[in-house]
Structures are given as C-alpha cells and as structure tokens.
C-alpha cells in the first residue's frame, strides 16, 4: 500500500515528544512491512523510511485547512495524527486520537484510539496499541538501587504517590519531568530527559512507578520501561491493565497497595519484561495493527474492531 501519514510536527522530535515518536515508529514499521510511505509534516522533517512532503506548521494547524490537495494522487490511504473535523477529499482517511477528548466533545470521523479502554470511553471499538522500536532502549538485567518515575509533573500522573511510596519504603526515587517541586533528600529530580540519558535511567531502575490517577489512553512510559527490562508498578486506570500482566508488573487500586507491591516488584524477571514488550508493543506490531485498519476501511468504508491483548479477552 501507499500510505500518506500526516503530522503537524517536525520529525524526528527533539526532547520527549511521545506522539511524535509514535509517528516515527509507525513510519519505520510500515516501511519494514514493505509499504510505501509519504510523510506530510513540518519543514525540516527527515525520516529515511519515507518520502517527506514539507508543509508549514501554520497550514497544518489550521482547522479549516483541507488536507486533500496535499495527498498524493496514488495514495491508498491517508492517516493523520491530529484531530481533523472534516474528512479531506482524496483516498480513504483515518486519524489517531492520542489523548482523551474533553467531556461532551464530538469524536472526529474515522477515529482510531490507543487501547480498548480508550476507545470504549469514547463510544468506539477501533483501536491500535502504541509501539516503539526495541533498539531505542538499553536492556539491563542487573538493576541499581533506585525507583524511577517519568512524565508531566501533574497530579493526574500521580507523581505524589510515587514520592509518598518512596518515603514509606525508604527507597531512593528519581523523578524526570518539566518542573521541580520540593523533595526530601532521598528524592532526586533529574529534569527533562530524553535519548541516551532516559534510556540509561530506565534500564537501571529497580522499577518504574506509574501511579496514574486519570484514565491513561495508553501509557507510553510503561512499554519504555518494559523494553528496558524494568517492571512497572501501576494503578488500574485506563489502558494500563491492557498493557501489563502480573509477570511484568503490579496493578493496584490504592497507594497502600502500591507501597506493599513495591516490596516485591523486583521479583519480576527483566528478561520477561523485555520479551513481553517485544511480543506485543513493537513498532512492527503497531504497524500491523494499522494495516489491518487501513485494509478494513478501504474494503468496507468502516474501521474494524481493534485486537485486544490476550489477557484482556480472557477477562471478558
């Protein structure tokens, strides 16, 4: 297939850029599967696996802008990674919703979500799990004596639970994020990190704290940790039960449960964590999921139902 992928960012991203990294991973996965990709994105975009069409950010971010004239005439499908309220002219079109829509906000047409939970909460059953390239991460079986947390330092991300858990268990905790609260001596703030520094901290951590206090659409840091051989201590919010099993993490309802689970979280084998991510959440697995969406939309005009991880099906 010839797939037109549309992003309103410059790629690859500098800094963390979760959504942008997913777009790059998808392009790489589609190319590895033998598909041809045209990437429509901001000037300066350079992705070897795609033919790049540079478009000014002001146009791409304009809600009234019609993408149709930009799409290659021979494209089989167009796939945007930002909300498009009006279907463009040209080939069949779908769009990935990377966040939670606001209450009462209309779902854009032909929307694909990031997990079964994410889709269900928006009245849909079309979803594809995120995936990343395993080579981005450093696998490390021997862990250091610290726990790790990364994300926006926002109450919804639950960083306060990670701090409180570290205090209760008297463990070292490293936090990575965009601004600095006041910490005790055993809590170390490392600021915004990406690339090699993030990979090293993820690989060396005894566990990743993922105490989400909102419904995570997916939880990208979860699979980043698993690729690094690092188990995840998480709440049961949003998509996290679809990503984690007891072999690679612990799912909890309360802070007390997380504190208790943290005492045994290191019993999970790093090799099992890496194998889990490689089985379900690679860039190729994500690309295969989207190709299934593309083919279904081209054939029937409707998006097919997403394929949930096996342990989710068993619970139904």
Q: Is 197 or 79 the better-scoring residue by pLDDT? A: 79
Residues 147 and 194 in one domain: yes
Residues 119 and 224 in one domain: no
In this structure, the answer to whether residues 189 and 149 fall within a common structural domain is yes
Mean pLDDT of all residues in 8-27: 91
Same domain, 127 and 139: no
244 and 123 fall within a common domain: no
Residue 79, pLDDT > 90, answer: yes
pLDDT band at 44 (very low <50, low <70, confident <90, very high): very high
For residues 60 and 144, state if they share a domain: no
158 lies in the same domain as 39: no
pLDDT band at 267 (very low <50, low <70, confident <90, very high): very high
pTM: 0.93
Predicted local confidence at residue 256, as pLDDT: 97
Q: How would you write 282-307 as a 3-class SS string?
A: EHHHHHHHHHHHHHHHHHHCCCCCCC
Nearest to 60 by CA among 75, 81, 46, 44: 81
Indicate if 92 and 151 belong to the same structural domain. Answer: no
Euclidean distance between CA atoms 225 and 49, whole angstroms: 26
Split at pLDDT 50, 70, 90, the class of 316 is: very low
What is residue 196's predicted lDDT score, i.e. its pLDDT?
Answer: 87
CATH number at residue 293: 3.40.50.2000
Q: Rounded mean pLDDT of the chain?
A: 93
Residues 69 and 149 in one domain: no
The verdict on 298 and 172 lying in the same domain is no
Asked if 106 and 139 sit in the same domain, the reply is: no
What is the pLDDT at residue 192?
78
Domain count, the chain: 2
Q: Which domain holds residue 58?
A: 2-132+283-315
Q: What percent of the chain has pLDDT over 90?
A: 80
Asked if 300 and 170 sit in the same domain, the reply is no
In this predicted model, which residue has the larger pLDDT, 5 or 59?
5
pLDDT in tens, 159-184: 899 999 999 999 999 999 866 665 66
Look at residue 270 and tell me whether its pLDDT is greater than 90.
yes
């Amino acid at each position: 297939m010839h797939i037109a992928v549309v992003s309103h960012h410059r790629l690859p991203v500098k800094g963390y850029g979760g959504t942008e990294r997913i777009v790059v991973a998808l392009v790489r996965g589609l190319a590895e599967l033998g598909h041809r990709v045209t990437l429509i994105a901001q000037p300066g975009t350079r992705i070897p696996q795609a033919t790049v069409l540079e478009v000014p950010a002001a146009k791409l971010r304009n809600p009234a802008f019609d993408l149709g004239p930009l799409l290659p005439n021979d494209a089989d499908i167009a796939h945007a990674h930002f909300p498009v309220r009006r279907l463009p002219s040209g080939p069949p079109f779908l769009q990935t919703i990377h966040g939670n829509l606001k209450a009462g906000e209309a779902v854009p047409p032909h929307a694909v979500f990031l997990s079964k939970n994410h889709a269900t909460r928006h009245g849909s059953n079309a979803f594809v799990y995120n995936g990343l390239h395993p080579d981005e991460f450093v696998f490390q079986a021997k862990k250091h004596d610290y726990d790790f947390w990364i994300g926006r330092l926002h109450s919804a991300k639950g960083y306060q639970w990670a701090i409180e858990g570290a205090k209760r268990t008297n463990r070292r905790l490293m936090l990575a994020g965009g601004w600095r609260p006041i910490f005790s001596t055993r809590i170390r703030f490392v600021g915004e990190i990406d690339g090699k520094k993030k990979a090293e901290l993820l690989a060396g951590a005894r566990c990743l704290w993922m105490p989400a206090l909102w419904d995570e659409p997916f939880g990208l840091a979860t699979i980043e940790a698993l690729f690094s051989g690092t188990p995840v201590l998480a709440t049961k919010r949003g998509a996290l039960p679809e990503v984690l099993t007891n072999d690679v993490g612990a799912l909890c309802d309360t802070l007390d449960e997380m504190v208790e689970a943290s005492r045994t979280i290191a019993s999970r084998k790093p090799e099992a964590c890496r194998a889990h991510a490689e089985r379900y959440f690679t860039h190729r697995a994500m690309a295969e999921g989207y190709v299934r969406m593309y083919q279904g939309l081209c054939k029937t005009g409707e998006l097919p139902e997403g394929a949930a991880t096996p342990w989710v099906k068993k619970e139904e």
